[in-house]
Structure 1
Amino acid sequence: MVDYLLIAVAVLALLSIVFEEITHINKAKTTLFFGCIAWMILFISRDVSQHAFINHQLEENLLEIAVLWLFLMSTMTFVAYLNAKGIIQLFVQRLFPENSSVVVIMFLIALFSLLLSAICDNVTATLVSLTLLQTFSISKKAKLRMAVLVVFSVNSGGVALITGDVTTLMIYLDGHVKISQLFLLLVPATVSVLFLATIFSIGLKGTVTTKPTIRNYETIDIFVALIFFTTILSTMLLNVAFGIPPVLTFLTGLSVMFLVGTFYRSDKQESKMLEYIRQIEYETLLFFLGILLLVGMLKEIGILRLVTEIYTQFNPTYSNYFAGIGSALLDNVPLTAALLKAEPILTATQWLGLTYAVGVGGSLLVIGSAAGIIAMSKMKEMTFLSYSRYIPALLAAYTLGYGITIYLASYML
């Protein structure tokens, strides 16, 4: 009976996100409230002898959240600084043509997000891509479509390398796929992204003009940009070579940024790097906190175990496809962990299919992936309902990518 109540709380949290435009209550506040209430109900409903175990599980959940918070904080501070100094706008001018059609920009932003997420984490790729997107003077309709495309592109690019997506890394470390096999996923990822970009470009007209950025940055700003780029590369290399968690590398990079800001003095004033932490949108972090508390609660009451049991009842090729869709409702990391713990017997083709599915399937709902949550928090045009209008197109692109994955892996492996 209590489990049904907890599921109802999770549903209420979802509804609070869906109807945010009607209630005008910030989704960060509602999800945080329902997330905390869910765990309190869990404590109250269980026997005293189970409290120690539940507390241990809560602490583990909070530890995962804290790691993500710190990672987001360090990444967002870099982006906030570089954006304020105009470095990102300058980068846009170098990367994108000064005058181009909205359709061309659509494809360029899709490929940029795809490639960036393949070499660094999804969070960084999303933040940088959205910041680039916000530098364009385009209609709200075009901007929303591009933002949805960024979410799908980031999740698609992340599946092809172990540095791009946590679930890909988990499946790789469990010994089910090889790096050479993962490279195959770049093909379905690219095709599906271009397919979605084609759909989204229908009906869009007009041109985009990149306004020249006045050179008002200092030498230290270039240093910070280099520190950011070096941190991204170091995160990838150190994680692969020594297993160093990405959050530790990014915090190290952030500390270097702060130290440079402390010792650098311009002719006018000292650069106060630490002040840029205040520019971080903490609503994004609170929204993450609420969502992950709810997912952790669902994990504790056995919802993930139920999903795993259903998964093993059917042909893995079909189960993998629907597991990807399920990852849009449940966080793909605990879902993947539950599936790996069940130790299903899959072929190399099916393991690649699962890797693609759990990595990209979360794109179907805006709350289904870290990229979607960040996009919804940072772009006022994107809400649960506005994103949901594109579910048919997203589902078609996901299905196309999954189908190509199975066909290509069956033929090549």
Structure 2
Amino acid sequence: MPELLTYVLIALAVAALLGVVLEEITHVNKAKVTLFFGTLAWLLLFIFTPVGEARETVLESLNENIAEIAGLWIFLVAAMTFVAYLNKKGMIENLIYLVLPKRISERALLFLTATFCFVFSSLADNITATLVSITLILSLQLDRAKTIKFATLVVFSVNSGGVALITGDVTTLMIFLAGKVAILQLLALAVPAFVAVMVLAAMLSIGMKGEVAVQGQRNDVRGVDVAIALIFLCTILSTIVGNFLFQIPPVLTFLAGLSVMFLVARFFSDDNDSDPILEYVRQVEFETLFFFLGILLLVGMLKEIRVLDGLVHIYDQVPAVMANYLMGVMSAAIDNVPLTAALLKSGLEMGVAEWMVLTYAVGVGGSLLVIGSASGIVAMSKVPGLTFGSYLRYMLYLFIAFNIGFAGVYLVGLSVG
């Protein structure tokens, strides 16, 4: 492979990363940027690789990369379709207003918000969990300073809840699919992650003494909606049990659950021309999926030209736990999806405890800056006054909570591993 081509391909990867970081300035969607540079990089690889064994190797690498991406895509489409349906039918909103009393103290509401975000983000993707939570907070009509405080807690809680289940965070799913951790080991992350969330809520609650009137209208609950909610929960439980007992791939279990959802909707005569059940597949966040596609194509290309070997050198210089901690801090500035994909593709060898720590670090580390995660970006776009600077005021609290969660996960990892 020509040396010049290597530099060109690295430049394309850097350009894609800059496109992601500067999305708010360029106003070009990061999915479009990464998909363009990801496909262009592989096209150049094929064009400038000599015919013969070298090009066959490139083709084999691309096929392997596409197969991994396809598995990730199908799983996410199935999981996000469930959530899109339940959200559209008001089931999630009903659950919120069922738990909340008519009047509640601001301090108690802070802890309830943290708990809800943590639990809900384990089941749904981070973007949906953030949108639902932020909508709830804005409906309470708090003053701007308190709204920003609640939004900060939402970002950290959503990212923390997502690390314990493969349905909650893409990086967790990626690490699991790579065979680095088992589902039950991931579930063990929930305890220290939740403790960190409660510590942050306690720090943010200092000085909050007011009361809030909760106003919400419950939606009508139909039998089919309850049935599909139960199918979703059973699918998640079946995924955990099936993988643990029979090593069934999660994508297969979720596809089976999705098929049951379609059939049940038809059984209830709810699948008709006015509201076809398959329409909910179109409500999936495909921009997010295309972003993952572009990123994983770029990371696969970097692996092919052996650039990722440099990442492993960091782990040669410092202990794995410290290196994982640095990766978590880096994820506040670098998107955690490409960072995780790069580490997985680099051939890094670690124990279970270290992989569990990395799962937490890259999943929650993005919360340290408002631009460091999809949850933060969504919150910033929805909450008036939530800016890079206003979020930064809570940096010390976020840093303390992150470190508590990190230390707890490492201790749990040692006992589980």
Give the TM interval when normalised to the shorter protein.
0.7 to 0.9
What SS is found at the alignment partner of 1:216? coil
Match of 1:78 in 2: 82
Question: Residue 276 and residue 405 in structure 1: after superposition, are their counterparts in 2 closer, same or farther (change >3 A)?
Answer: closer
**Aligned partners of 1:172 and 1:215: how far apart in 2?**
40
Q: 1:193 to 1:215 in 2, by over 3 A?
A: closer
User: Structure 2: which amino acid aligns with 1:150?
Assistant: S
Partner of 2:228: 224
Count of residues in Structure 1 that have an aligned counterpart in Structure 2: 394
Query: What pairs with 1:136-215 in structure 2 (closer than 5 Å)?
Result: 136=137, 137-138=139-140, 141-142=148-149, 144-158=151-165, 165-166=172-173, 167=175, 170-172=179-181, 185-198=189-202, 209-215=213-219
Structure 2 distance, partners of 1:36, 1:384, is 33
Residue 13 of structure 1 deviates from its aligned partner by 1.6
State the shift of 1:255 in Å. Answer: 0.9
Distance 1:80 1:239 in 2: 25
Matches within 5 A, 1:46-65: 46-49=49-52, 50-65=54-69
CA shift, 1:225, in A, is 1.2
Give, in angstroms, the shift of residue 16 of structure 1. 1.8
Q: CA deviation at 1:202?
A: 6.5
CA contact (8 A) 1:74 1:250 kept: yes
Secondary structure of 1:312's partner?
Answer: helix
Q: Deviations over 1:355-386 (max 9, x none)?
A: 22333334333799xx9447747983499968
Structure 2 CA distance for aligned equivalents of residues 103 and 22 of structure 1: 36
Residues 46 and 191 (structure 1 numbering): CA distance in 2 closer, same or farther, change over 3 Å?
same
> Does 2:8 match 1:8?
no
Cα contact 1:38–1:294 (8 A) shared by 2 = yes
1:279 is matched with 283
Asked if the contact 1:31/1:287 (under 8 Å) is kept, the reply is yes
Kindly state the Cα deviation for residue 298 of structure 1 after the two structures are TM-superposed.
2.4
Against the structure 1 CA distance between its residues 221 and 315, is the aligned structure 2 distance closer, same or farther, given a 3 Å change threshold?
closer
Map 1:111-130 onto structure 2 (within 5 A): 111-115=115-119, 124=125, 127-128=128-129, 130=131
Residue 30 (1) aligns with residue 33 (2): yes
1:234 pairs with 220, 225, 238, which one?
A: 238
222-231 or 39-48: which moved more?
Answer: 39-48
Deviates more, 1:84-93 or 1:213-222: 213-222
Change over 3 Å in CA distance of 1:298–1:412 after alignment to 2 = closer
Query: CA distance change for structure 1 residues 47 and 259 in 2, over 3 Å: closer, same or farther?
Result: same
1:39 paired to 2:42: yes
Identify the residue that residue 405 of structure 2 maps to in structure 1.
401
Question: How far off is 1:74 after superposition?
Answer: 1.5
2:61 is paired with a residue whose SS is helix
Query: In structure 1, what residue type is equivalent to 2:217?
Result: T
1:18 Cα offset (Å): 2.5
TM-score normalised by structure 2 residue count: 0.77
Distance 1:262 1:289 in 2: 32
Residue 311 (1) aligns with residue 315 (2): yes
State the one-letter code of the partner of 2:259.
S
The Cα of 1:238 is off from its aligned counterpart by 0.9
8 A contact 1:110–1:193 mirrored in 2: yes
Is 1:100 aligned with 2:104? yes
How far off is 1:256 after superposition?
1.0
TM-score (norm 1): 0.78
In the aligned structure 1, how far is the partner of 2:391 from the partner of 2:45? 31
Query: Structure 1: how far apart are the matches of 2:68 and 2:379?
Result: 22
Q: 1:366 to 1:291 in 2, by over 3 A?
A: farther
Q: Structure 1 residues 63, 411: closer, same or farther in 2, change over 3 A?
A: closer
Taking the aligned partners of 1:240 and 1:373, their CA distance within structure 2 comes to: 30
Gaps of 5+ in 1: none
Which one-letter code corresponds to 2:356 in the other structure?
Answer: T
CA contact (8 A) 2:104 2:213 kept: yes
1:358 corresponding residue in structure 2: 359
How many Å apart are 1:250 and its aligned residue?
Answer: 1.2
1:100/1:209 contact within 8 Å kept? yes
Deviations 1:219-255 (A, max 9, x none): 1111111111111111111111111111111111111
Q: In the alignment, is residue 295 of structure 1 matched against residue 299 of structure 2?
A: yes
8 Å Cα contact 1:116/1:157 also seen in 2 = no
CA deviation vs aligned residue, 1:57-84 (integer Å, no higher than 9, x gap) = 1222222222222222112221121112
* Cα distance in 2, alignment partners of residues 199 and 44 from structure 1: 56
Q: Residues 56, 411 of structure 1: CA spacing in aligned structure 2 closer, same or farther, 3 A cutoff?
A: closer
Unmatched runs of 5 consecutive residues or more in structure 2: none
Say which is worse superposed, 96-105 or 199-208, in terms of deviation: 199-208
